Chains A and B, each alone.
Chain A
């Protein structure tokens, strides 16, 4: 999975037959420290991620491995909201903490 921050929402009422009504969130890819990289993708959200939250995004066919996305024309799924990341023996991200003081 890749890491990203929930940056916004995308509304799309006219969709292909293969696409259910779903919450489409705009996710900005970011590092394991939560710093944004200026690259975005649209992902289906089934876990109720809120704005600014760090999330894990599954891409490709694996994004279809859920009840709602099975056999659907979707290739990016928010599969989890990150609470904390530790790397190199230190915490690099903690949900709710301000940037930097993870």
Chain B
């Protein structure tokens, strides 16, 4: 899986019928060493209700279709988790701001 931040949303009214009703989010891959964006973007199906700005990780390839919401969809990337915290080399480099 790969760490990313939800950078925005993607709307596509004309698309494969099976993609209907799916939330598509714009993700930017993150470098855990800095938690900064790497300038690499992709569109992923959302299966956990991630919000813009949140840190997530996503799966690619056929594993992306292994959730109830994404099964049988013509898509190869799905957000599967919203990250609470990232520890790197013993240091807490990210912590989801608890409201």
Contact = CB atoms under 8 A, between A and B. Distances in A.
Nearest to B50: A14
Interface string A56-99: 00001101100000011111100000000000000000000000
A15 B81 contact: yes
Interface in B1-54: 1-3, 31-33, 47-49
B98 to A, nearest CB: 12
A12 B63 contact: no
Interface residues of B, number: 36
A26 B89 CA distance: 10
Contact of B87 (A8, A12, A73, A74): A8
B2 A41 contact: yes
A9 B87 CA distance: 5
Interface string A11-46: 111111111000010100000000000101111000
B80 A11 contact: no
Given A8-B32, A41-B1, A64-B66, A16 B88 contact: no
A16 B69 contact: yes
B82 to A, nearest CB: 4
A18 B62 contact: no
Given A40-B32, A42-B1, A73-B47, A16 B87 contact: no
